[in-house]
Structure 1
Amino acid sequence: MRLVPIEFVKPGDSLAKTIFDNDGRVLLREGVTLTENFLLRIKGLQIYSVYINDKYSDIIIEDVIKPELRQTAIKAIKDTFYSLEKYSLYSNDANFNKKKFAKEKQSYFESIGNIAKDIIDEIISKKNVMINLVAIKSMDNYTYQHSVNVAIISLVLGVQLQLNQADLYTLCMGALIHDIGKVLIPKEIILKPGPLTEEEFKIMKEHTTKGYDYLKDSLDISAPSRIVTLQHHEKVNGCGYPDNIKDKSINRFARIVAIADVYDALTSDRPYKKAMCPNNAIEYIFAHSDTQFDYKMVKAFSKAVVPFPPGTLVKLNTGDICVVTKVFPTYALRPEVKIIKSGGYYNSQEVGITISLVEKLDLVIENIEFTI
């Protein structure tokens, strides 16, 4: 399977990963043959990329957690965020029942806590778990899907950093609710189909303090988990927000979530910006280590993510088009590839042969290909 922008998907292609609608119901199951009508329905949900199988990419890539658990987690985050939205709209109403809301709030966070435990159990049950799949997101559900994905990426990094199970739980809870303050930001800013103005960005930055203020009296969530909502946009050089703190003054869980947050955002399609390829996102994060991100954590992250999953079509510096057949965890940027189309250059390889880029240091992947 391989991830393909929707504009490159053709009627007759085979869907490799089930697509869910905004309520978590199955829209199209994996294995279905895509038609013009199906493609229109996918585009209607503002989904800009899908996984397909073809003659070059029939390798199955498993998600880090089961699809059912992912959908349950998305729904729990969505329900929790909606609850806060309702509170922000009606809390000053004379008929608003604060005791009832407090009970609802507690039940939502208990649900998220149980889901966090389930996600952790799945991740730590797998040996050498790595981030090898980009989650498909619709624009309407982006914030909730992003929250779950950031939690998963954070946990994989946490395992790489050898955190104990209690710390993994704290990390997961903080990651799942890190963007809860966005509910209190005007929707026209959150959903704006383009870059924010300076004034809009100033308002957007308030989601960290608004989210923390909402959570600070929630005893169901530990203080280190709550602090993630406040500090996940701080930078190790002190140029982040809201408090311009730096280095170890930033909570270590917030430093982990900061990496996961940016990686997932960079590799996600937006109405005004195409997703960045995973390898370019990794390079961006490396380029900003010791300024934006914790350098030691970035090094660990680079060992936990697969930029070219098996099935990916890539172009070498020779012009040859290849399909990735195997990934080496220690050398994630230099996988094993099979040549499927000659570049026509003097030093091009033979079509059909398999090459390990770990051994052929003169060969470099230039970019990901979507068509041949």
Structure 2
Amino acid sequence: MRLVPIECIKEGSFLARTIFDENGRTLLKEGIKLNTALIKRIKSINIFSLYIIDEYSYSDIEDIIKPELRQKSIKIVKDTFSNIERIANYIFDSSTSSKDKNLLLKEREGYLKNIYDVALELIDNISANKNILVNLVDIKSMDNYTYQHCVNVAVLSLVMGVALRLPRSDLQDLCIGALIHDIGKVCVPKEIILKDAELTEEEFNIIKSHPQKGYDYIGSTTELSSVAKMIILQHHEKQDGTGYPFGLTGNEVNPLVKIVAIADVYDALTSDRPYKKAATPNEALEYIMANVGTHFDINYVDLFTKIIVPFPTGTVVKLSNGEIGVVEETPPNYPLRPRIKILKSPLDENRVGSIINLLKDLSLVISGIQYEV
């Protein structure tokens, strides 16, 4: 299967991954044959890329976590975000009685306990997965973006944490913090989050307030560790001090935050947003590598480049010699040098069907992803 922008999908292709609505219910099941009406319907719910199976790419790619666990996690994050703001508003309201505040605090602890429980499930699921290479980007709808994004950031962060062989206590802090790192966005007006044009300075300042707001919403809870709270507060800090809210540098930023920061940017870049189309996995990886030392810690970026597959199996690519091929396999630790089966060749028709190993043929590189063949 391969990931294709919706405007490049041809009739007769088959949907490779099930599409869910914002409540986790199945809208279109994998395997359905796509036609113009279905493609138009999918686009109407603000989904602009799909995994498909066609004549060029038929192999499957497994998600690093079970699909039902992904949907369960998204629902729990959504329920938590939807209720934390309501609870916080009442708690901070001076007219709310002490008795009601205690009840609200207990309710908040219940939602955060659900986050804790699903974090343990994610840790067990990923720790048991022998293949820690990330081959997929998660397809998100605009309406459910924040919740899906938080789950994906948690998954990516955990994969890095497991690769680092972090102790379970650190994995718990890492996962819980990542799952709710954007909880402060519940205070940002939806029209700003979904704006399809450049933000004004005032609007961007509102966006920049979300780490502090999120920390304020859950700062007093005993259900979260101080490290999980730091992930909420610091996830937009950068190595060179140009981040926010405090402009921290280098070692002033918690190490687990540095992991989440990379996962956060990678998932955001590879997601369709109202103001821009998704970057390809290789473009997102190149951006992160280009910002080592300024935005990101080199040690964690080095690790990230070893677990992310920028050209997943089934991706149709164009080579530097003009040939078009489909990725067959990616060797560990060499994500930019996969084995490729040639589909079209302007050089020699006899090369069609042959296998090129970029790990051995160093004269060739992948020049880009090819959506239309």
RMSD between superposed Cα atoms in Å: 1.5
C-alpha deviations, 1:21-69, integer Å up to 9, x for none?
1111000111011123322221121001010001211111000101110
1:211 alignment partner, one of 210, 214, 224: 214
Deviates more, 1:79-88 or 1:242-251: 79-88
C-alpha deviations, 1:324-359, integer Å up to 9, x for none?
0001111011100000011x247x871100111000
Specify the alignment match of 1:223 in structure 2: 226
Identity score, percent: 53
Specify the alignment match of 1:356 in structure 2: 357
Q: Distance in 1 between matches of 2:199 and 2:84?
A: 24
Q: Distance in 2 between matches of 1:221 and 1:27?
A: 35
CA 1:93 to 1:26, structure 2 compared with 1: closer, same or farther past 3 Å? Answer: farther
Specify the alignment match of 1:65 in structure 2: 65
Q: Distance in 1 between matches of 2:55 and 2:118?
A: 37
Gaps of 5+ in 2: none
Specify the alignment match of 1:182 in structure 2: 185
CA 1:44 to 1:100, structure 2 compared with 1: closer, same or farther past 3 Å? Answer: farther
1:11 aligns with 2:11: yes
Specify the alignment match of 1:129 in structure 2: 132
Q: Distance in 1 between matches of 2:88 and 2:229?
A: 19
| Number of equivalent positions | 370
User: Is the 2:65–2:126 Cα contact (8 Å) retained in structure 1?
Assistant: yes
Q: Distance in 1 between matches of 2:101 and 2:67?
A: 35
Cα drift, residue 275 of structure 1: 0.7
Cα drift, residue 71 of structure 1: 0.5
CA 1:353 to 1:220, structure 2 compared with 1: closer, same or farther past 3 Å? Answer: same
Specify the alignment match of 1:301 in structure 2: 304
CA 1:290 to 1:15, structure 2 compared with 1: closer, same or farther past 3 Å? Answer: same
What amino acid does structure 1 have at the position aligned with 2:258? R
Deviates more, 1:283-292 or 1:192-201: 192-201
Cα drift, residue 72 of structure 1: 0.5
Specify the alignment match of 1:288 in structure 2: 291
Q: Distance in 1 between matches of 2:280 and 2:127?
A: 27
C-alpha deviations, 1:297-334, integer Å up to 9, x for none?
00000001000110000000111110000011110111
2:102 alignment partner, one of 93, 99, 103: 99
Q: Distance in 1 between matches of 2:115 and 2:28?
A: 27
Where do residues 189-200 of structure 1 align in structure 2 (5 Å cutoff)? Answer: 189-200=192-203
1:158 aligns with 2:161: yes
Q: Distance in 2 between matches of 1:132 and 1:339?
A: 21
Specify the alignment match of 1:29 in structure 2: 29
Specify the alignment match of 1:39 in structure 2: 39
Specify the alignment match of 1:55 in structure 2: 55
Cα drift, residue 160 of structure 1: 2.0
Cα drift, residue 215 of structure 1: 1.4
Q: Distance in 1 between matches of 2:123 and 2:289?
A: 26
Specify the alignment match of 1:240 in structure 2: 243
Cα drift, residue 203 of structure 1: 1.3
Cα drift, residue 11 of structure 1: 2.5
C-alpha deviations, 1:145-170, integer Å up to 9, x for none?
00000000011111222212221111
Specify the alignment match of 1:279 in structure 2: 282
Cα drift, residue 93 of structure 1: 8.6
Question: What SS does the corresponding residue of 2:307 show, helix, strand or coil?
Answer: coil
So what's the TM-score if we normalise by structure 1?
Answer: 0.96
Specify the alignment match of 1:368 in structure 2: 369
Gaps of 5+ in 1: none
Q: Distance in 2 between matches of 1:128 and 1:216?
A: 36
Specify the alignment match of 1:85 in structure 2: 85
User: Is the 1:320–1:349 Cα contact (8 Å) retained in structure 2?
Assistant: no
Moved over 6 A (4+): none
What amino acid does structure 1 have at the position aligned with 2:355? T
Q: Distance in 2 between matches of 1:95 and 1:261?
A: 36
What amino acid does structure 1 have at the position aligned with 2:354? I
User: Is the 1:160–1:301 Cα contact (8 Å) retained in structure 2?
Assistant: no
Q: Distance in 2 between matches of 1:213 and 1:181?
A: 8
Cα drift, residue 238 of structure 1: 1.1
